Each structure stands twice: as C-alpha cells, then as structure tokens.
Structure 1
Amino acid sequence: MSKEMRFLVFAIEYYRQAKGLTGPEVAALFREKGLSQYVLDNYFLYHIESPDLMVADIDRYVETGERPAL
C-alpha cells in the first residue's frame, strides 16, 4: 500500500471520529462528494498540517464545492 493510500485511510478514520459519523455514513459522504480523490489531490498539504485543519478544509469543500487556493 502506498503512503498516499495509508494517509487516505487515516484521513477517512480521522474525519469519521471528528464528525461522530459511522463507517457507512463516512463512506457514503466520501463516495458522494468525491472526497477520496480530493484528499489524495491534497496529500502533500494535508500530511504536513494539523489533521483538524484537514477536517475543516474537507467541511468547507463539502459545503461550497470549492477547492482551496494552493
């Protein structure tokens, strides 16, 4: 498994716990919003910042559909 995929697993689990979601709920959200690819696209940013900032950024993307200006 690549380091990016390991990080994606971490990100999904961290997001699930931070938002109090069940496994099926977070899986559905990530699938519906394309969040797995979003996290992978932002891997180099997310793996060096606070996981809480990642959660906030994912929430902003879910709400607005806008990607961060990198």
Structure 2
Amino acid sequence: MSKEGNFLIYCIERYKSAKGLTGRQVSELFTKYRVWDYIYSCFEALHTTGEKYIVEDIDLYIEARQSAMV
C-alpha cells in the first residue's frame, strides 16, 4: 500500500477513536463531505502534524463543507 493509503487509514482510525464512531460512520461521513480527497490532496502537509491537529483539521474541513452544502 502507498504511504498516502496508509495515512488515510491512520486518519480514519484516529478520527474514529476521537469521535467515538464506527468505521462505517467515519466512511460515510468522509464520503459525504469528500474528506478522502482532502486528506489525499493535503497529505504532504498533514502527515507531518500530530493526531490532535489532524482530527481538528478534519472537523474544520467538514464544517466548511456543511456550510457550503446548505
């Protein structure tokens, strides 16, 4: 698996744990708000940050996408 693929899995697991969600819930959320694309496109910057930052950054991204979808 690519380093980006491994990082996506890491992000899923960290987000799932931080939010108390199931893997399916995270997958549905990431699909609905296109978080997969975001993480992949920002891999170079995100993979150098810590777990807390990644979770917070994903939350901010989802909030921005929710506002845009209204």
TM-score normalised over the length of structure 2: 0.86
The alpha carbon displacement at 1:28 in A equals: 0.4
Shift of 1:50: 0.8
Distance (whole Å) between structure 2 residues aligned to residue 29 and residue 59 of structure 1? 11
Runs (4+) of structure 1 exceeding 4 A deviation are none
| Structure 1 CA distance for aligned equivalents of residues 61 and 45 of structure 2 | 15
8 Å Cα contact 2:16/2:23 also seen in 1: yes
The share of aligned pairs that are identical, in percent, is 40
What residue is the counterpart of 1:12 in the other structure?
12
| Corresponding residue for residue 21 of structure 1 | 21
What per-residue deviation string (whole Å, max 9, x for no partner) do you get for residues 4-51 of structure 1? 111111111111111110111111001101111111111111111111
**Between structures 1 and 2, the one with greater helix share:** 2
CA distance in 1 between partners of 2:51 and 2:39 (Å): 12
Indicate the residue corresponding to 2:68 in structure 1. Answer: none
1:16 is paired with a residue whose SS is helix
RMSD value, Cα: 0.8
Gaps of 5+ in 1: 66-70
**Letter in structure 2 aligned against 1:50:** G
- The one-letter code sitting in structure 1 at the alignment partner of 2:53 is L
Superposition pairs of residues 36-51 of structure 1, within 5 angstroms: 36-51=36-51
